[in-house]
Structure 1
Amino acid sequence: MLRCLPRAPHRPAGPRPPSRAAPASFTAAGRGSAAPLPLSYMVFDGSTPQSPLVFLHGLLGSKSNFRAIARALVQRTGRKPDLVERLVSVDISPTESVAVTNFQAYISAMRRVSIPNGIPRSTARRLAEDQLYPAVQASAVRRFLLTNLVEVEGRYMWRVNLEAISQHMADIMGFPVFHMPYPGPTLFLAGSDSSYVSSEDYPEIERLFPKAEIHYITGAGHWVHADKSQEFITAICNFLLVP
């Protein structure tokens, strides 16, 4: 099973999309619980029911973020059974991210948003965006955060648990200590305008992923798949050796 994790380093590469997989689950091992947690997922069928490509989105993201990318990859890759056991990390390093992220500021701004009940969704979204603006001035980031705004019985709220995220931000932005490397082919695919993958991270990447390639897509920021979608898809397909 090919797993594509959001974020990482140099030269394009490629994945391939999901097919009839059982519901994904996460086991909270080492956290006092071994119970699997059901995850929301979406399936895109290719020409064969084998060897799925699994996308795992990042913090405050959604499976809808990769819908268009997944469809394109299904068409480009066929999901060929011989292309398996590869990892693509999109603009993230196996290191702590606290110093390069503004997520704590985003969470704080989202928690301050207050929207009246019973108003149209378009009005609620506009009010929320206006309230986010002082702390989040990049329009693309505001639009991304607003994908988490949902209406439940006439009330507007955030889909994500902001309280829990805020309390555990250090854990989320950190990275566990691993001693065993991942031996499979790995692509770290990063945006040239992003600071999430730097040369300082290379030693740890090489230690944990000895077969890693690092590729930067010129002109892309942290959201590589959105900034340069065609280059992103081509890079992933090249990595999977798909013509």
Structure 2
Amino acid sequence: MKLHYRDLGQGTPFVILHGLFGLSDNWQTLAKYWSQNYHVYLVDLRNHGRSPHSTDFNYDLMVEDLAEFLTEHQLENPVIMGHSMGGKVAMNFALKHPEKLSKLIVADIAPRPYPVHHQDIIDGLNAIDISTMTSRTEAEAALAPYIPEAETRLFLLKNLYRREDNSFGWRMNLATIEKNIEEVGRETTSDTPFTKPTLFIKGEKSRYIQDKDMPSIQRLFPQAKLETVANAGHWVHAEAPEKFYQLVVDFIK
């Protein structure tokens, strides 16, 4: 699958993968700073952003999409970073294609399986009738009973766009994501570890990476180190951008 992307800067290739319901735009602010020293690629994963929609959606396919992307753009030994679902893609990619990257960064996700926990978001998005909607304000009002946090609503509604006829559409393939939502939490496994430098970054307030996850992290990624960002939650890169930026730069160096 030919993935949509944005790229900035020059130098060592640095590929960034967004999380579930996200898109490449989410990373533009930090990418502008990293692009001063690296060639940053912001990729839309399948069924997200401006990348193609498909009825198929799982980590095996997203790993092969990424392999195809690196080949297409002749990216040798990039640093690959992913947040949440994108972190799962990055982990799976590193374990399957260790020769295709130099370093791995995983933001606030562990290899373990996660139960489905996005039903409120899916219900809220389905409550938005984009066929009759005339403004983003209407969409936010429909979403609010399901998602009380204004920042989360803003994040989700970045997926809305105006078609040429001025009607609204979704960038993401909501139907396929909902149908395959159990795939998002699938455990990351491998008989062979990824032995290159790896950085896990977690938000202090997040429960996505816990002490119980360290044995599996160290087994699959024996060179991994974990950094915790104080006073940040799951959206660690958005809640503490300066600290997150510096951790990534120090690690890549």
- TM-score (ref. length: structure 1): 0.74
Give the CA deviation at 1:154. Answer: 2.3
Instruction: Tell me how many residue pairs correspond in the alignment.
Output: 194
Give the CA deviation at 1:118. Answer: 7.5
Structure 2: distance between partners of 1:193 and 1:227: 11
- Structure 1: which 5+ runs fail to align? 1-36
Q: Tell me if structure 2 keeps the 8 A contact 1:83–1:240.
A: no
**Which amino acid is the alignment partner of residue 73 of structure 1?**
W
Give the CA deviation at 1:203. Answer: 0.9
Q: Tell me if structure 1 keeps the 8 A contact 2:198–2:224.
A: yes
**Which amino acid is the alignment partner of residue 215 of structure 1?**
E
Structure 2: distance between partners of 1:82 and 1:38: 20
Structure 2: distance between partners of 1:159 and 1:105: 19
Alignment correspondent of 1:235: 247
1:113 to 99, 115, 128: 128
Q: Tell me if structure 1 keeps the 8 A contact 2:9–2:38.
A: no
Q: Quick check: 1:190 aligned with 2:154?
A: no
Alignment correspondent of 2:110: 93
Alignment correspondent of 1:22: none
Q: Quick check: 1:154 aligned with 2:115?
A: no
Question: Relative contact order: is structure 1 or structure 2 higher (C-alpha 8 Å, sep ≥ 6)?
Answer: 1
Relative to its length, the structure with more helix (as a share) is 2
Alignment correspondent of 2:26: 65
Q: Tell me if structure 2 keeps the 8 A contact 1:194–1:221.
A: yes
2:228 aligned counterpart, secondary structure: strand
- Structure 2: which 5+ runs fail to align? 40-75, 80-101
Q: Tell me if structure 2 keeps the 8 A contact 1:118–1:154.
A: no
Structure 1: distance between partners of 2:188 and 2:224: 19
Alignment correspondent of 2:140: 129
Q: Tell me if structure 2 keeps the 8 A contact 1:104–1:169.
A: no
Structure 2: distance between partners of 1:40 and 1:115: 24
Give the alignment of 1:15-34 within 5 angstroms: none
**Which amino acid is the alignment partner of residue 62 of structure 1?**
L
- TM-score (ref. length: structure 2): 0.72
Q: Tell me if structure 2 keeps the 8 A contact 1:192–1:219.
A: yes
Alignment correspondent of 1:21: none
**Which amino acid is the alignment partner of residue 13 of structure 2?**
P
Give the alignment of 1:3-14 within 5 angstroms: none
Structure 1: distance between partners of 2:77 and 2:140: 46
Give the CA deviation at 1:74. Answer: 2.0
